[in-house]
Amino acid sequence: MSSNLKQRLNRRGIRPTIQRIKVLEYLFHSQTHPTVDEIFTDLSQEIPTISKATIYNTLHRFIDAGIVRKIPSDTDAQHYEIVIKDHGHFKCLACGKIFDFAIDYDHLEVDGLEGFIIEKKDVCYSGICPGCQLNSLQN
């Protein structure tokens, strides 16, 4: 796995340091859309010398290279994910989890943006996930 990640970084002109590989590997295996704090907490157990600044700098470098994206959020805690394919996000207002869902951006109809240059498309919904709905019925 890490040799593929090294190649991915090299193709984007990013030197594959141990910290960068570990951050990318973490995102690749994560299904939780982690925050910097979550990445730091988990990786610092494996790499005690890693700092939050290193993680922030690594994520921003990955974003600039198009490897990682920041998920739009209405809170201060930014969530990150590895870029694989276009999809939307649903954030549960009860538990805070972020779920992916399929969306075809090319066929998404939008009125009122004639003359605008669209550089980025994000679709985010919020509400209550099925698990939290079930929990609220049981309580």
Q: What's residue 117's pLDDT?
A: 93
Q: What is the mean pLDDT of the chain?
A: 90
DSSP state letter for 74: S
Q: What's residue 1's pLDDT?
A: 58
What kind of fold does domain 88-138 have according to CATH?
Dna Ligase; domain 1 (3.30.1490)
CATH number corresponding to 2-82: 1.10.10.10
- Give the percent of the chain with pLDDT over 70: 99
Q: What's residue 37's pLDDT?
A: 94
124 is in an annotated binding site: no
pLDDT in tens, 44-60: 999 999 999 999 999 99
Residue span(s) of the chain under CATH 1.10.10.10 come to 2-82
pLDDT in tens, 28-84: 998 889 999 999 999 999 999 999 999 999 999 999 999 999 987 777 788 999 877
Question: What span, in angstroms and rounded, lies between the C-alpha atoms of 32 and 99?
Answer: 8
User: What is the CB neighbour count within 10 angstroms for residue 9?
Assistant: 20
Q: What's residue 34's pLDDT?
A: 94
Model confidence pTM above 0.75: yes
DSSP state letter for 85: S
Local confidence band at 16 (pLDDT 50, 70, 90 cut-offs): very high
Question: What span, in angstroms and rounded, lies between the C-alpha atoms of 20 and 61?
Answer: 10
132 is in an annotated binding site: yes
Local confidence band at 128 (pLDDT 50, 70, 90 cut-offs): very high
pLDDT in tens, 79-115: 999 877 888 999 999 998 899 999 988 888 888 999 9
Residue span(s) of the chain under CATH 3.30.1490 come to 88-138
